[in-house]
Chains A and B, each alone.
Chain A
Amino acid sequence: MIQMFHVFKSFSARLSALEDITFRVEPGEFVFLTGPSGAGKTTLLRLLYAAERPDRGQIVVNGRNVTRLSRRSIPTFRRSIGIVFQDFKLLPTKTAFENVAFAQRVLAIPERLVRRRVAQVLTRVGLSHKKDALPQELSGGEQQRVALARALVNEPALILADEPTGNLDDGLAQEILALLYEVNADGTTVLIATHDRQLVASTPGRVLTLDHGRLLSH
Chain B
Amino acid sequence: MYFLREALRNFYRHRRINLVAIFVIATGMLLVSGVALVYVNFRNFAAYWGSQVHMVIYLRDDITPERRDALRLAFEQAPEAASLIYTSKEEALQQLKARLGEGATILQGLQSNPLPASFTITVRDDYRKPERLREAVERYRQLPEIEDIDYGERWIERFLTLVWLLEVGVIGIGGIIGLAVMFIIATTVRLALYSRAEEIEIMRLVGATVWFIKIPYVLEGILQGVVGSGLAIGIAYGVYVALMVWLRPAGEFFVDFSLFQFLPPPAITTMLLTGGLLGAFGSLFSLRRTGLSS
Q: Which residues of A contact B203 (CB under 8 A)?
A: 91, 102, 106
Least CB distance from B74 to A in Å reads: 74
Complex: how many Å from CA A106 to CA B202?
12
Chain B residues 1-31 with CB under 8 Å of chain A are 2, 9, 13
Say yes or no for A197: interface residue by CB 8 A criterion: no
Q: Is B208 an interface residue (CB 8 A)?
A: yes
The interface residues of chain B lying within 8 Å CB-to-CB of A90 are 202
Q: List the A side residues contacting B88 at CB < 8 Å.
A: none
* Segment with Cβ contacts to B, from A6-14, A72-80, A166-174: A72-80
Question: In the assembly, what is the distance between CA of A83 and CA of B199, in Å?
Answer: 15
- Given A90-B202, A91-B199, A91-B202: A76 and B294 within 8 A (CB)? no
Per the bound structure, the CA–CA distance linking A92 and B203 in Å amounts to 12
DSSP class of B's interface residues: helix, strand, loop or mixed?
helix
Residue from B204, B205, B207 with most neighbouring chain A CB atoms (10 Å): B207
User: Is A64 an interface residue, CB under 8 A from the partner?
Assistant: no
Interface range, B side? 10 to 19
- Asked whether A75 lies within 8 Å of B202 as measured between CB atoms, the reply is no
A92 in complex: contacting residue of B199, B208, B209, B210, CB < 8 Å: B199
Any A CB within 8 A of the CB of B212? yes
Is residue B206 within 8 Å, beta carbon to beta carbon, of the partner chain? yes
Answer whether residue A150 sits at the interface, using C-beta atoms and an 8 A cutoff. Answer: yes
Name the distance in Å between B293's Cβ and chain A's nearest Cβ: 9
Residues in B whose Cβ lies below 8 Å from that of A92? 199
Give residues 80-98 of A contacting B (CB, 8 Å). Answer: 83, 89-93
Contact check, A106 vs B207: say whether CB atoms are below 8 A apart. Answer: yes
| Residues in chain A near residue B202, CB distance under 8 A | 89-91
| A105 interface contact, C-beta 8 A | yes
Shortest beta-carbon distance, B4 to chain A, in Å?
Answer: 13
Interface centre among A71, A72, A91 (most CB of B within 10 A): A91
Given that A91-B199, A92-B199, A93-B13 are known contacts, is A103 also in contact with B206, CB under 8 Å in the complex?
yes
Contact check, A51 vs B212: say whether CB atoms are below 8 A apart: no
Q: A79-B207, A89-B205, A92-B199 are in contact. List 10 more A-B contacts (CB 8 A).
A: A51-B205, A71-B294, A72-B294, A78-B207, A79-B206, A91-B199, A102-B206, A106-B206, A106-B209, A107-B207
